[in-house]
Amino acid sequence: MSPRAGGPSVRILTAPSLHRGSRDSVAVIVAYVPFGLAVGAAMAGAGVPPLVAWSSSPLLFGGAGQLLAVELLGAGASTAVVVLAALVVNARFLLYSAALAPHVADWPRRARWAGSYLLADPVYALAAARFAGPGGGGRSQDRLAYYVGVGVTLWSAWLLLTGLGMLLAGVLPAGFRIDMAAPLTFLLLLLPMLGGRAAVVAAVAGGVSAAATSGLPLGLNVLVGAAFGVAAGTLAGGRRA
């Protein structure tokens, strides 16, 4: 396939950007260990054949969506309900795609289609930070190589972590639950991406207040945490100004 004018060939990936993408993914993988293991353990106890449950990792590549799908299958839900539920939970990827669209517009069409499969929360976080930084992530082929490095590395790690979680489900601590592992994971994922005093204050205030009000029904503690985080970040930014 010949590359378009100004666009990269799918077969030409610059090694430095590819390696940087893989290297940047290491910290994310470390942060995702508790969540991946917890998701795998939860899938192991969902009443679905192990191979079917684990196959949701390469099919969906998203912890929230695949866990919901496996649990619905285990509960005897119809295929239509499972598919619809997974689509609703993963609807946030539409926003991620729209945000990345200006940065990938010059990629070949088949590269964009393949990239959409690799899109997940941490992949978006790393790619968006890289593309929005100084230089916009470099040339078009550099951006593509970085994205591939991030996506393939995290995809491989997610399959390994969920598989290990299923194998170790019987020996993991009883208190190792998905509702505790998920907030811990996203807190660890967020910390390296915080820039500036206001962002740090907002993250800490939001996390602490959400944890302190975790007993509220309907997940209202998340809204409380968001409100406290925004207020604290605004105050911190105003004082600095």
pTM of the model: 0.71
Tell me the C-alpha distance between 18 and 143, whole Å: 9
Tell me the C-alpha distance between 205 and 169, whole Å: 33
pLDDT of residue 193: 55
Tell me the C-alpha distance between 27 and 189, whole Å: 8
pLDDT tens-digit map of 51-77: 888 888 888 887 777 877 887 888 888
DSSP helix/strand/coil, 62:
coil
- On the question of pLDDT at 180 being above 50, the answer is yes
Sign of CA dihedral 139, 142, 146, 152: positive
CA proximity to 210, closest of 189, 186, 194: 186
pLDDT of residue 143: 92
Tracing tokens 């795609």 back to the chain, one arrives at: 97
CA proximity to 37, closest of 192, 191, 193, 170: 170
CB-CB contact of 147 with 131 (8 Å): no
pLDDT of residue 11: 47
- How many residues are given for the chain? 241
CB-CB contact of 163 with 172 (8 Å): no
Q: Which of 61-65, 150-154, 166-170, 232-236 has the highest mean pLDDT?
A: 150-154
Q: Which of 66-70, 146-150, 157-161 has the lowest mean pLDDT?
A: 66-70
CB-CB contact of 158 with 25 (8 Å): no
pLDDT tens-digit map of 85-143: 888 878 888 888 998 999 999 999 999 999 999 998 889 888 988 888 777 777 888 99
CA proximity to 82, closest of 95, 67, 96, 61: 67
Enumerate the H helices of the chain as residue ranges. Answer: 15-44, 50-54, 56-60, 63-74, 79-89, 92-104, 109-118, 121-131, 140-167, 178-190, 197-212, 220-240
Which residues 6+ apart lie within 8 Å of 236 measured at CB? Answer: 197, 198, 201, 202
pLDDT tens-digit map of 213-236: 767 665 566 667 667 766 776 777
pLDDT of residue 22: 92
Q: Which amino acid is at 210?
A: A
pLDDT of residue 148: 94
pLDDT of residue 6: 45
- Tokens representing residue 232 in the block: 């604290």
pLDDT of residue 237: 64
| 8-24: average pLDDT | 74
